[in-house]
Structure 1
Amino acid sequence: MIDNSIISLSEKSIENNISFLRSKLGDTVKISAVVKANAYGHGIEQIVPVFEKYGIDHYSVFYYSEAIRVYNCLHKSSSIMVMGWLSEKDIKDAIEKEIEFFVFNMERLQLAVKYAKELGVKAKIHLETETGMNRSGLNMNELNTAIAVIKENTDHIELTGFCTHLAGAESVSNHFRIQNQLQKYQEMTTELDANNLKPKYKHVANSAASFVYPDTRMDLVRVGIMLYGFWSSTEVFIQYINHQEDRIDPLKRILGWKSQIMAVKEIKSGEFVGYGISYLAQSNIKTALVPVGYSFGYSRSLSNKGRVLIHGHQCSVIGVVNMNMMIIDVTHVENVKVGDEVVLIGKQDKLEIKVSAFSEISDELNYEILAHLSESITRRVIN
């Protein structure tokens, strides 16, 4: 791990977000914490034990390698669900470890039956249906074939879930499409019911859908971005806040990111700074070198645009963001020295830099910025 920059994770914020979500989703809805992409950049090994401490006992990932990371850092018996990639050998291992996984084609279902028979253990599957996202899932004909296979193998297959994925619940522009998806999902559910197959969980909602379309909460909600303190979109936030008296954002950001100054330099007027000629000093300036660059997830698109906090002042990134370094204009900041704290995300004195500030400048989604944070950065849970 690299410790010249530190990502901090606020336990109080985690507790707050889980409490808020539980109060809104209700006691009968299972929260599955989505911890794919290294827990949205927060760190699987750091975040999962804290989620677990506050009662989360179901986790969703994309890759099987992520499932194993979750599996290895859990203290209690919890459920893990793989929504995406498993190799053939991973399917066998998943069944043995009682890890749940999506089945979105007949090949995977047949492999699940094969290895469940070999191991003498039931495979815990979630049938994913294609309702209009046109990405992955069983269409109606494939669903009927899958139903027949499951009914023939009730000793080897446990239908843990029946699900689909909605195509952009965070935007009103997708409303008509999502209504069609929900109707198609209901038609498929009827087919399941007609065959007397009763999944433990019916689930279609992510963070956005659970608030925009409350009827989609069903038995389980796959909550990702909101657990980490972010709304899926401005639209979702406005829709929620418009129905509240206090109009205060109930979610709290978990993540902070700090580094430190590694060198201070005086630059004369008329000299270029960094690679190329993108920044020309218009007067004598003082710069600070910070050991963070795009290899850490600080986007190159923030060259000559980014902001950091030093000594309670907002300071500009000047020149091109390098792979491992960036240059900051600290001309207006007194007594700057090597080792001084640099806040990339978070608060310092009365100022704050939010992840949303990155997205506004770089044209990246919050999701992208968080997911790009390098796993090599040290992460620490704080109170």
Structure 2
Amino acid sequence: YIDFAGGIGVLATGHRHPRVMAAVAEQLQKFTHTCYQVMPYPGYVALAEKLNEITPGRHPKRTSLFSTGAEAIENAVKIARVATARSGIIAFSGAFHGRTMMAMALTGKVAPYKAGFGPFPSEIYHAPFPIDLHGVSVEDALRAINTLFKADIDPQRVAAIVIEPVQGEGGFYVTPPGLMRRLRELCDEHGILLIADEIQSGFGRTGKLFAMEHYGVDPDIIVTAKSLAGGFPLSAVTGRASVMNAAPAGGLGGTYAGSPVAIAAALAVIEVIRDERLVERAVRLGDELRARLGRLQSETPQIAEVRGLGAMIGVEFADAKTREPDPAFAKKVQARALERGLLMLTCGIHFNVIRFLMPLTIPDGVFAEALEILEQSIKA
């Protein structure tokens, strides 16, 4: 099979990249676990310093490592609350932040993530995410936030606004630059922290090392995971030093947080992305994919929109006559592709989007073959 799923966006550097495997093998010969809070190790410090260096923003930063994206989101909320002495959090419709209780509360998609699992933590509020295709504008989102401030929660009680620069499970909708800039202004105006969830969009996928670089806006906290460690369980919360320092000693961490084996993989991943110019390659792969889908759109009325940044591309399907979301067509395309040897994933609150998460290391010939299969599957 040709993998256009990448373990749900985990494998930017591909399956078992030799340099990642070599780093892991070397670490396995040293030690596999001590618990960083019990016996610190240099790799943790080295990766934290590297993330402080490469994430957006030139301000002083600190990093805390964890195991999963949901765990990192939970801790980002903890840090925001202790740093601001506030409790309210604003997220967006369609967002996905994980499957733990706080992460589910932040998530703006009920089925299959939230149905039956409540009640969820309180003081979580949602604003509509701007999607032009569905008639929701930046102005609509901002008006909704203003309404929250007037009707539900004083902005002086809001600790953070959490947003994905590109919604992952929600449908690969790109946050409009106007919204991101205005959120930064609102946060600065009211003393609110801006948290960027780059769990799926980080590490080269969007044609920048981090998607926030497309906006010229620095988050106060950035959350990363997935492709950070090339298939090993590792996540990170990186933020302004003044914010991160607010957490009391012992307040952050975990038995397996910052696994030395996963850290070895992550340090190798960052070098591979740099040395193999995978950020630039993401742009080229995305351009080729977008061009192919654009040609298909002109002859396939079910293709409602092709969108994304870099190689983080989504194609949305709608009924040819009613223009209503068409999850059945998306499922048929996915099934036809699988029969032909191409593995793809669907997403979106209507399940009518196919998202593309191929490894950025995919050979040109294999990529070309995959595009042929994709075209055949859409036309079939």
TM-score range, shorter chain: 0.3 to 0.5
Determine which structure has greater relative contact order: mean sequence separation of CA pairs < 8 Å that are 6+ residues apart, divided by chain length.
Answer: 2
Structure with higher Rg: it is 1
Of Structure 1 and Structure 2, the greater strand share is in 1
Of Structure 1 and Structure 2, the greater helix share is in 2
TM-score normalised by structure 2 residue count: 0.33
